[in-house]
Amino acid sequence: MRTRRTRFAVLGGVAALALVGCGGGGDDACVAEPGAAPGAVQVDTGCAVNTVVAVDATGAIADRTLARDVSSTALRAAEKTITSGGHLRMFVFAGDANAVEVIYDDDVQTLKQSDETRRGPQEQALRTALATTLDSALGVTGDDPALRGRVRELTRGGTSDIARAVRNGLRSLTSRSGAKALTLVSDGVQASDQLKLSSAVDSGGDPAELGARLGELIGSAGGVDVLQVAGLGRLPDRVNQSARRTDALVEIWKAACERSRATRCATTTEL
Residue 60 banded pLDDT, cuts 50, 70, 90? very high
- Residue-wise pLDDT tens digits, 141-166: 999 999 999 999 998 877 899 999 99
Q: Which of 129-138, 238-247, 253-262 shows the lowest mean pLDDT across its residues?
A: 238-247
Give the model's pLDDT for residue 188: 95
Q: What is the mean pLDDT of residues 4-16?
A: 40
Give the model's pLDDT for residue 118: 67
- The CB-based long-range contact list for 235-240 (8 Å cut-off, 24+ gap) reads 235/59, 235/66, 235/187, 236/59, 236/60, 236/62, 236/63, 236/66, 237/62, 237/63, 238/63, 238/65, 240/1
User: What is the phi/psi pair of residue 177, to 5°?
Assistant: -100, 155
Q: How far apart are CA 157 and CA 94, in angstroms?
A: 10
Q: How far apart are CA 70 and CA 137, in angstroms?
A: 11
Q: What is the mean pLDDT of residues 176-198?
A: 95
Give the model's pLDDT for residue 2: 42
- Residue-wise pLDDT tens digits, 11-46: 333 332 233 333 333 324 899 999 999 999 999 998
Q: How far apart are CA 140 and CA 156, in angstroms?
A: 19
Q: Which residues contact 92 (CB under 8 A, 6 or more apart)?
A: 55, 56, 57, 100, 101, 103, 134, 137, 138, 151, 154
Residue 117 banded pLDDT, cuts 50, 70, 90? low
DSSP-assigned beta bridge partners for residue 50: 180
Residue 1 banded pLDDT, cuts 50, 70, 90? very low
Q: How far apart are CA 174 and CA 87, in angstroms?
A: 12
Residue 112 banded pLDDT, cuts 50, 70, 90? confident
Give the model's pLDDT for residue 122: 87
Domains of the chain: 5-268 (3.40.50)
Q: How far apart are CA 149 and CA 39, in angstroms?
A: 26
DSSP state letter for 18: B
Helices (runs of H) and strands (runs of E) counted in the chain: 8, 9
Q: What is the mean pLDDT of residues 127-146?
A: 97
Give the model's pLDDT for residue 15: 30
Give the model's pLDDT for residue 115: 64
The whole-model pTM stands at 0.88
Q: How far apart are CA 2 and CA 173, in angstroms?
A: 33
Helices of type H across the chain:
64-84, 111-114, 121-138, 145-154, 162-173, 197-202, 207-218, 243-260
Give the model's pLDDT for residue 125: 94
